[in-house]
């Protein structure tokens, strides 16, 4: 441990004692659900020189890793479970299944600190809020969005997990907040394709107009910008490695990753993609998954923003796992 003297005014400093306290480890970019193997796997190394590690837990229908990367919610045989122990490089399902959880969720929207999550089913049109993750779990009853009319398109939750935000397309299309009891219209939007919350700001992507709206969750004040790109499919607000608040956007046709300054909504970076992205999902501190693997032989596609966004593939060393007898789906 090095000691440094910080003072108001010029005083003396303590020189660090001994270098043996420096500790080494191998970098792991993050954890991700790998559909072809139905497993959660590490991305070993840093993007650009990384690979998928062996499955930590398998036989999963679907999984979503919490922002802290130490636990996840996984679905096995239709039942949602909490997966613990990811931070230690091992993993296990907690038994029994998440108490009170609706079966067959299709997605998980996490709060920023991972203490709250909203499980949802786009096809079933329901959401279910969980707080107190991972240890002091509280679940609310699943709520159908059917009374809103239209179809569920996107879900997000605030940092506390007390409020969920849903996107509804079709009849009564718009973005609604849900406080656990009632839905309230935040913004009428034709096709809310993606929602994300950063700090107290909700970001909404309207795929019908390629418009991004920022809504203050405290004041409900909103502001919208039309993006230059067409066929936008996903967005994610973040703070990049340079400490700048940015908004990442990907498009589906002529695929491209664009980076906007989230304050001015000026585009500050753009990277053409050689593949069709499916969304933007956090992977590591400054990295995001753009396209999970779909079949064996596919790489995972991700990007890192170490000041400038750069897109990388992450190979899956299939030979290694064949030797270990882990089947690829």
Partner 1 sequence: MARRIGSIAVCLVAFGVLAGAQTQVPFQLVLEQQGQAATTIQNGSTIAMSAAPGTSLTVEVVVTYTGSGHATISIPPTIIGSATGFSSAIVGSLPLTLTPGQSVGVTVTFTPATATQVTAQLIVPYNETTATNGLNSGAISFSLQGTGLGSSLVFSYVAGGSTITLSPTNTSVVFSPVMITQSSQIILSIQNAGTVPVTFSNIGIAQVGGPFALASPPALPLTLSPGSGTQLTITFTPTALGFVNGTLLLDTASVPLVGSGSAPPALPPYTISGPSGNATPMTQPKISLTLAAGYPVAISGTLTMSVTGSLPADPAVQFQSGGTTVSFVIPANQTAAVFGAQGTQLGLQTGTVASTITLTPSFSTQVGGVSLTPATPTVLQFSVAPASPQLLALQLTGQSATGFTVQATGFSTTRALQSLAIQFTSAAGFSMPTSQFTIDLSSVAAVWFGTTASDAFGGEFTVSVPFTFEGLAANQSVLSAISSVSATLSNALGTSSAVQTNVP
Which spans of this chain sit near partner 1 (rule: CB under 8 A)?
1-16, 19-27, 44-46, 48-51, 239, 241-243, 285-286, 297-299, 306, 312-313, 315-320
In the bound complex, what is the minimum distance in angstroms from residue 293's beta carbon to partner 1?
9
In the bound complex, what is the minimum distance in angstroms from residue 256's beta carbon to partner 1?
18
In the bound complex, what is the minimum distance in angstroms from residue 302's beta carbon to partner 1?
12
Tell me how crowded residue 139 is: count the other CB atoms within 10 A of its CB.
18
Contact 54, 318 (CB under 8 A): no
> Cβ closer to partner 1: 156 or 316?
316
In the bound complex, what is the minimum distance in angstroms from residue 226's beta carbon to partner 1?
30
32: which residues sit within 8 A by CB, 6+ positions away?
Answer: 40, 41, 43, 52, 65, 281, 283, 289, 292, 300
> Cβ closer to partner 1: 54 or 228?
54
Give the H or E element holding residue 107: strand 107-110
> Cβ closer to partner 1: 165 or 238?
238
Contact 23, 40 (CB under 8 A): no
Angle at 126 between CA 150 and CA 189, to 5 degrees: 35
> Cβ closer to partner 1: 33 or 126?
33
Give the H or E element holding residue 319: helix 318-323
Contact 16, 26 (CB under 8 A): no
> Cβ closer to partner 1: 8 or 136?
8
Q: Counting beta carbons within 10 angstroms of the beta carbon of residue 182, is it exposed (0 to 12), middle (13 to 18) or buried (19 or more)?
A: exposed
Phi, psi dihedrals of residue 193, rounded to the nearest 5°? -85, -25
- Distance from C-alpha of 276 to C-alpha of 195, rounded to nearest angstrom: 20
> Cβ closer to partner 1: 46 or 58?
46
- Distance from C-alpha of 259 to C-alpha of 147, rounded to nearest angstrom: 36
Token couple for 7: 């003072």
> Cβ closer to partner 1: 266 or 285?
285
């Amino acid at each position: 441990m090095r000691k440094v003297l910080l003072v108001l005014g010029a005083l003396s400093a303590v020189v660090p004692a001994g270098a043996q306290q420096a500790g080494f480890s191998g970098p792991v970019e993050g954890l991700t659900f790998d559909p072809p193997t139905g497993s959660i796997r590490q991305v070993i190394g840093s993007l650009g020189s990384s690979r998928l590690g062996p499955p930590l837990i398998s036989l999963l229908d679907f999984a979503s890793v919490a922002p802290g990367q130490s636990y996840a919610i996984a679905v096995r045989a239709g039942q949602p479970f909490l997966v613990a122990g990811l931070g230690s490089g091992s993993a296990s399902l907690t038994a029994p299944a998440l108490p009170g959880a609706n079966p067959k969720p299709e997605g998980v929207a996490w709060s920023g600190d991972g203490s709250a999550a909203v499980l949802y089913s786009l096809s079933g049109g329901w959401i279910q809020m969980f707080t107190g993750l991972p240890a002091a779990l509280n679940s609310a009853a699943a709520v159908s969005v059917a009374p809103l009319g239209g179809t569920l398109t996107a879900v997000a939750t605030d940092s506390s997990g007390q409020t969920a935000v849903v996107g509804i397309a079709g009849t009564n299309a718009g973005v609604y907040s849900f406080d656990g009891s009632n839905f309230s219209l935040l913004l009428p939007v034709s096709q809310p394709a993606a929602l994300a919350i950063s700090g107290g700001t909700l970001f909404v992507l309207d795929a019908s107009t390629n418009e991004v709206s920022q809504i203050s969750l405290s004041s409900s004040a909103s502001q919208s910008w039309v993006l230059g790109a067409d066929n936008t499919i996903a967005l994610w607000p973040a703070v990049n490695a340079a400490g700048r608040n940015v908004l990442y956007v990907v498009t589906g046709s002529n695929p491209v990753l664009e980076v906007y300054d989230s304050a001015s909504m000026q585009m500050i970076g753009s990277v053409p993609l050689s593949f069709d992205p499916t969304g933007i999902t956090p992977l590591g501190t400054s990295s995001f998954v753009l396209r999970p693997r779909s079949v064996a032989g596919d790489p995972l596609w991700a990007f890192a923003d170490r000041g400038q966004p750069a897109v990388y593939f992450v190979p899956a060393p299939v030979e290694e796992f064949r030797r270990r007898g882990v089947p690829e789906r």
